[in-house]
Amino acid sequence: MTQLLYVIGGWIGLVSRGSVVLQVLVAVALLLSYRVWRFRGRGSRRPWRAVLAKVVLAALFGLASLLLPQLGMAGGLLGLFGQITAIWTALAALRLLLRRAADAEAVEAFWQRAVLPLFLVLLLLGLIHRLDGLEEIGRVPLLKLFDQQLSLANLLLVLGLPYFLVVLSELPVVLLGEVMGRLMGMGSGNRKALELITRYVLIGVGGIWLADRIGLNANAIAAIAGGLSVGLGFGIKEVFSNFVSGLWLLFEGSVHPGDVLILDGETCQVRKLGLRATTLWRDRDNAELVVPNQNFFTATATTYTGSDDRRRGQVLIGASYQHDPEQVIAVLEEVARAHPRVLTDPAPKAFLVDYGSSSIDYALRFWMADPMTNLGLSSELRRSIWHAFKEHGIEIPFPQRVVHQAR
């Protein structure tokens, strides 16, 4: 640590020089002008105007970097700021284009989680490289880990690589999944499983590379494994159990992202199969449910998408005793057949299910392609039945009771 502070102290000697201070002051003045312009709200409502302003800012940096050497002063730092601004501007433009082309929220999330941190890290490393040389500072020893001297470069890798592996592997595996899905004709569930497994493999390989890079030897790994086994026994047993369950679910294929399940009587769609938990989306109230993976091992899971995606729905209705059941059944089946979202094969079928106290009770059973649409489709069918009954003069009786008075 002392050596690191010593190296950083050397930079103070560089940045305290008149030529560097002058460049920094020019850069700060230009940045402040830009910020004031943004603060007045001129750039916030029109993002493309803000991009244009950044282009102007980059150009001003470049111009200043050319002017200062003419006055016999160094201007390279301003040129460097200009390059950084130009890259940032290009990224900002790309962000706007992506927001238009794809889901804006997803783009924003990826931007905040991956692009921005990566840009900042590369910016910092780039500045250090120009100022002092990355190799020199990267070799500075910081601490000992399992008898291995951990250099600054390795420490930064240990801290940063897992994050970027997790975050940055997201997009490439989705693209890979798309390509593989098209080439091999995979369903969305299998595609998502493939994506997830590929991602875990990438993260695993990255982790192994990292362990090798920082020089973790077999003894160190044994020590980690020993620590984990104790940890597994106490604190993180559930986490590990959920992780294994998640992997098992993927390989077994019983639950895929995209599957439709019944959870506590509600229809939900699997959105994400995570390391620890599965995220389900509940249509009824647009809620996301985070369910620990091991629940799928310890409780019965009802799915509509196991062998196929079709679901059977049912509408119960009562008709007055005065109507011929044949006519009622014919009307019900006709209504179902006329609905575009009711599958023709298997054909919809109506049944007389009971002689009730007030009505003859019928059940109309029908099939749909999308299991998540049951409630909406049932509602539409009930409305159609009401109109069809009215058209055919079929009465839907109120509950009635015949009371006989003894004389």
Partner 1 sequence: MMTAEPVRSRWMRLRSRAGAGLAMAMALLVGGCQGGPKPPENLQVAIATGVGSDAVVRSSLQRLASQMATEFMRNNPGTNLHLRFLSEGELLPNLRDHSSLGAGPDVVISRVAPAAKLSSEGLVVPSNLSPKELDPLRIQFLSRFRQGNRFAAIPFLLQPSLACYDRARLPTPPATLDALLSRAAEGVRVGLPLEMDELLWSASGFGASQPLLQLLEVDQKIRRPLNPTDRAKVLAWLGWLYRANVQPALQFVDSSDELVHKLATRQLDWISCNATAISHLRRNLGSRLAVALLPSGPDGQPAEPIARQLLLSFGRDSTPNQRRVAERFALFVLNDFSQNNLMVRAVGNMPVNQNVIVPVKESPQLATMERSLDASIVPSFLQGTGLRSRTEALRHLLKQDVYGEQPPDKVLQGIEALSNATP
Q: Considering beta carbons, is residue 110 or 389 the nearer one to partner 1?
A: 110
CB of 12 to partner 1, least distance (A): 6
Q: Considering beta carbons, is residue 11 or 163 the nearer one to partner 1?
A: 11
Report the side by side order of strands in the sheet with 349-355.
311-319, 360-368, 349-355
CB of 273 to partner 1, least distance (A): 18
Residue with tokens 């002092």: 132
CB of 99 to partner 1, least distance (A): 9
Q: Considering beta carbons, is residue 28 or 179 the nearer one to partner 1?
A: 28
Q: What are phi and psi of 137, to 5 degrees?
A: -75, -30
CB of 18 to partner 1, least distance (A): 7
335 Cβ contact list (under 8 Å, min separation 6)? 364, 381, 384, 385, 388
Query: What are the distances in angstroms from CA 229 to CA 183, 224, 293?
Result: 42, 9, 21
Q: Considering beta carbons, is residue 72 or 399 the nearer one to partner 1?
A: 72
Bond into 346 cis (ω within 30): yes
CB of 228 to partner 1, least distance (A): 32
Residue type, 337: R
Query: What are the distances in angstroms from CA 311 to CA 65, 114, 334, 353, 381?
Result: 68, 39, 20, 21, 15
Q: Considering beta carbons, is residue 171 or 330 the nearer one to partner 1?
A: 171
Q: Considering beta carbons, is residue 9 or 340 the nearer one to partner 1?
A: 9
Residues 341, 377 contacting (CB under 8 angstroms): yes
The tokens describing 30, both together, are 């230009």
CB of 106 to partner 1, least distance (A): 10
| Nearest residue to 268 via CA among 128, 132, 375, 389 | 375
**Where does this chain bind partner 1 (CB under 8 A)?**
6-7, 9-21, 23-24, 28, 35, 73-77, 79-80, 104-105, 108-109, 112, 116, 130-133, 136, 288
